[in-house]
Every structure is written in C-alpha cells, then in structure tokens.
A and B are shown apart, each in its own frame.
Chain A
Amino acid sequence: MRCNEARSWFEDGEGGLMPAAVRDHLRTCPACQTDEQDWGLVRTGFQVLSREPGPDASPGFVARLKRRLAEPSLAGRAAAQFWDFIGRRVILVGTLLTLALVMALMLPPSGPWRSPTALDLSLLQAEMTAENDPVLPDDIGSNQGVVPNVRAGEDQEGR
C-alpha cells in the first residue's frame, strides 16, 4: 500500500476497524504512523466539538429580525439592489449599442472590417458597365481631338 492510500483511509475514513493493509503500511512507515497518531488526536477534539450544541437563538430573535426586514431602509435597499441589478444591464446594453453605432459611422464603407454595401456594389456594377459599353456617337464628339491624330498617323504610314 502507498502512503497516500493509507492517509486517505485515516483522514477520510469514517472510523471502524483499520484494514490489515493500512495496519501493515503503518508498521513499516514511521511518517504515516506519526500522521495517523497526530490526526487521531485532532480528530477526537473535532468530534467533541461537533457534539457541542451551538447556541440557541435568544427569545424574540425571529420577531426582531422580521421588524428589521420590514424597516423602510432595508426594503428600500432591497428595491435599490433590484434596480441596480436591472440598471447595470440597461447601461451595458446601451453602451454596446452606442459603440456599435459609432463604429458603423466611423469605419470606411468597405474594408477588412466591413463588407461592401449594396450601394458599393451598384456603383461598381455601373463602373464596369460603363467600361464595356460600345462608344456612342455622342462620345466620339467629345474625343474628336484624339481620333484625327490616329487617322493622321495612318495617313502618314500609308504614304
């Protein structure tokens, strides 16, 4: 038997006859033997203490307590504790909502913390559509300065 097994018997054991294995261990282990003897003394003292009746409540204890519980200050304290309990949660939720709103307003419209919004997507789509659109006659008018130069270059190569 190991020391901790023997110790758990004499520390936690409910008394009764000591098992032979524990007795054999104690015979060969002076440290456990000393612990068993010393703990036996202390435990006997505990047993005497545990059988001592605690003091009884003095006459009128419950009546005095009920009067104290009914005092307005204590009733107010109970109510205050309740509202404190509720109030703390309201403040916490309010703070979190405000923080979320502030973050939503301060963060850029897209980025690692925020996915593109519907507006971002529609702008992107419009941009892509504009790039793929064929050149309209009206646009040619606005690019007149470029086109003749290209043609001029073709004319020069042709010559």
Chain B
Amino acid sequence: MADSPGDSQELEWIQRAQRGDAEAFGLLVERYQRRVFSLAYHLVNDHEEVEDLAQEIFVKAFLGVRGYDGRSSFATWLSRVTVNHCYDYLRRRRSSRVLYFSQMNEEGQRKLEGKAESPPPEGLHVEDRIALRDLASKLLNRAPAEDRVILGLKELEELSVQEIAEVLDLKESTVKVRLHRARKRMLEDFRRWQRGR
C-alpha cells in the first residue's frame, strides 16, 4: 500500500504544498484521488456522498499538510486523514441512520434466510451474491463507526493488520483485538436479526 517515500517528484510537490502552493497540491490530488474515493466509498458505502467527502478530505489535507513530517508515506498519511474524516462523518450520521432490515425487500430476506441455514457458499449464483452483498452492506451500516472503519479497512480495502495499524496509528496487537471484537459484535447483530425474523 505504501508508495516509495523516496519519490523525489512527490516530495517536491509535498514541499510546495506545504508552502501553500495549491497547484502542487492539485498534482497530489490527481495521483491519489482514486485511492481516496475508493477508501471513502468503502467506509461510508454511499455513492452520493463520496465526492463531497473526498473534496472535504482534500481540503483538510491541504490545510494540514504542514504537519506531514515524512515519517510515513504520503499515501498512508492521506489514508489517515480520510479514515478520520469518514469516522467523524459516520458518527454524525449514526444518529439519523435508518434501521437495516426493515429496508430490505422480502425477496432479499428470503434468500438470506436460505443462505443463513446452509454452509458457506462456493460458486454462488448472482442473486445469492447480491443478497449476501446486501447483508454485508447493511450490517456495516448498522455497526458502530469504529467497527465499521476497522472492518472496512480489513475486509473491503483488504489491508493487512500491519497496514491498518499504520493508518490508525495503533499497535498491531490492538488492531487484532479490535478486529476480533468488531467481528463478534457483527455476528451478534446478524443473529439478533435472524432471531427477530
């Protein structure tokens, strides 16, 4: 995930951006916009919001780029800004969140019901994959912001524990514990829904 910190051109852009050069920062935006869009999308799971969020993230990064000291790669630093911004957004949005399963249509519920009683699928049909995608998406939407961020980084961005530790500025052992707890809470939520049907 980390790009080479020794990239001299990138270093020059960063230094110019640190002096307030918006043009130089624009070059960094061009280089990293896909990464920021993807990460923000996986963390908030909302197509409509991603572009606005990405713009706010880049503005925040521009205002804070003086604080970038090169100890991690710029990509990691920018991921940290993105994760923090998305985390704040998710916390703000949590209060107005609509509960998941009431939104799911009957067809999706029926498919999930069938899947939940069978072993993990190999070679799923398209509709089963859609139902499971819907399940994972809605479980993420219901999860607390911190669980959502750490599971999003692990399961959707497919970062290693070491990379997550770097982005969240935590110890690897702490990341492992938080991942385990987040998964446990998600499974409990899944079962609550199964019992409540």
Contact = CB atoms under 8 A, between A and B. Distances in A.
Interface of A: 7, 11-12, 35-50, 52-58, 61-62, 64-66, 68-70, 74-75, 77-79, 81-82, 85
Interface in B104-146: 115-116, 119-121, 124, 129-130, 132-137, 139
Interface in B62-114: 62-63, 66
B22 A66 contact: yes
B149 interface: no
B171 interface: no
Interface of B: 20, 22-23, 25-26, 29-30, 33-34, 37-38, 40-42, 45, 47, 50-51, 54-55, 58-59, 62-63, 66, 115-116, 119-121, 124, 129-130, 132-137, 139, 151, 155-158, 161, 176, 179-180, 183, 186-187, 190-191
A54 B137 contact: no
Contact of B135 (A41, A64, A74, A75): A41
B135 A45 contact: yes
B26 A49 contact: no
A68 to B, nearest CB: 7
Contact of A65 (B26, B124, B179, B190): B26
Given A38-B187, A69-B62, 11 more contacts: A41-B190, A49-B156, A53-B38, A54-B41, A54-B42, A55-B50, A62-B29, A64-B55, A70-B22, A74-B59, A74-B62
A39 B132 contact: no
B156 A78 contact: no
A55 B51 contact: yes
Nearest to A68: B59
Given A35-B187, A42-B139, A62-B26, A54 B120 contact: no
Contacts of A52: 133
A126 to B, nearest CB: 58
Contacts of A47: 155
10 contacts: A35-B187, A38-B116, A39-B187, A40-B120, A41-B116, A41-B132, A45-B133, A49-B156, A55-B51, A65-B59
B51 A54 contact: no
Contacts of B120: 36-37, 40-41, 43-44
B187 to A, nearest CB: 5
Nearest to B128: A44
B23 A65 contact: no
Contacts of B58: 65, 69
